[in-house]
Amino acid sequence: MPILLTNATLATMTQGYGLIEGGAVVIDGEMIAFAGPMSALPTAYAELAPQDMGGRLITPGLIDCHTHIVFAGDRAAEFELRLNGASYEQVARAGGGILSTVRATRAASEAELLAQALSRADQIIAGGATVIEVKSGYGLTVEDELKMLRVARQIGRHRAVRVKVTHLAAHAVPPEYQGRSGAYIDAVAIPVLHQAAGLGLIDAVDAFCEGIAFSPSEVDRLFTQARALGLPVKLHAEQLSDLKGAVLAARHGALSVDHLEYLGADGIAAMAAAGTVAVILPGAFYTLREVQLPPIAALRQAGVPMAVATDCNPGSSPMTSLTLAMNMACTLFRMTPLEALLGTTLHAARALGLTDCGALEQGKRADLCVWNARHPAELSYRIGATPLHARMFGGRFDA
């Protein structure tokens, strides 16, 4: 039997907010059969027993299009060391930094990694997410990257959430390849790509293009192989400096380029021409106490679609709340609440190459959130709140 939700304000996200007061939604199986004003409800559904939403706001299910939730351990001790005055070098000598996460992730069993990833996924889901993207990148050996990718794939089998898995073996240069990042691409990143693609473990390929990670020409080699396998690409670029990663990614028809604090006019033009989404990650900006703002006004003016994500990771963004990311995007970056919500719905779907979600529309998946809110601006306005009343995934409300 189809489900009929009534007495709701709908933010359909089809044209701007696409607000509909006195709205109704009909869910048939896993799909939305109708979303519109109650007065336009097709007569075929008029006999259904209505579930009264009490005037609450309904939005599409939120989409976290950039996370690193598969990792072992945490970096809380390092956080405390630094706030007690330790320098970066002292932290590194005490075993801190990204390589401490690599060591812990290599040492962890698949079951341990899955348990930790599920607890982070649960927090993101509790904030209203129905799709989560998950990257590898803390294994940095062929076996440990494949282990991370298998764990990422399993998340969606254990929880009511859709997971898109991204190969990010080119995330950091491990100690055994220090000063030989090109050799790492050939010996680890590319072999993982071929094996993971053959096993159906990955949906996209990402890399960290930065002075402390991989050069544009190394990323270019990896992306050329990814595209030959029919996999879309996305890139961590222009986070700490402008290496023209966005231009490179756009040349490969990237789904998204992410971070972008140091993005220049050439990168913006290339992304606009390629239809590439700009994924804005205020959690990393905040944690690193960055001062260079991403060029939001120029992206807006160029018509580049913007998404917003948690970037959940143990180092630069230990954050599991999408509504907090939206709040930060507004307050730190002057994105509007409409842009922030588009950034976690329609534009986040696009950053993942998904066309069947991100809006309340007939024919889309019935992934939606019912909020203790009257207007969608409230989702960005509150700081660190989780105003979720109910979440529906594939036509079923959570128990």
Q: Give me the residues that bind ligand DI6 (CB under 6 A), please.
A: 98, 101, 171, 208, 236, 239, 284, 313-316
Q: How near is the Cβ of 67 to Fe ion at its closest, in Å?
A: 8
Instruction: Report the distance separating Cα 269 and Cα 246, nearest Å.
Output: 10
CB closer to Fe ion, 207 vs 330: 207
Name the residue nearer to ligand DI6 (CB basis): 121 or 237.
237
List the single partner that 100 binds among Fe ion, ligand DI6, none, CB under 5 to 8 Å by kind.
Answer: none
Q: Which residue's beta carbon is nearest to the bound Fe ion?
A: 311
Of the two residues 170 and 231, which places its CB atom closer to ligand DI6 in the complex? 170
Could you tell me the smallest distance in angstroms from the CB atom of residue 241 to ligand DI6?
A: 12
Report the partner that residue 205 touches, choosing among ligand DI6, Fe ion, none (CB closer than 5 to 8 A by kind).
Answer: none
Shortest distance in whole angstroms from residue 313 CB to Fe ion: 6
Q: How far is the CB of 216 from ligand DI6 (least distance, A)?
A: 15
Question: Which is nearer to Fe ion, 58 or 140 (by Cβ)?
Answer: 140
Closer Cβ to ligand DI6, 74 or 378, answer by number: 74
By a kind-dependent CB cut-off of 5 to 8 A, residue 316 interacts, out of ligand DI6, Fe ion, none, with ligand DI6
Question: Quick one: 236 or 365, whose CB is closer to ligand DI6?
Answer: 236
- Binding Fe ion by CB under 5 A: which of 64, 242, 311, 339? 311
Distance of alpha carbon 223 from alpha carbon 117, whole angstroms: 27
Scanning 157-165, 289-297, 307-315, 349-357 for contacts with Fe ion by CB under 5 A, the matching segment is: 307-315
d(CA 148, CA 110): 8
Residue 367 binds Fe ion, judged by CB under 5 A: no
Give me the least distance between CB of 82 and Fe ion, in Å please: 20
Binding site for Fe ion (CB under 5 A): 311
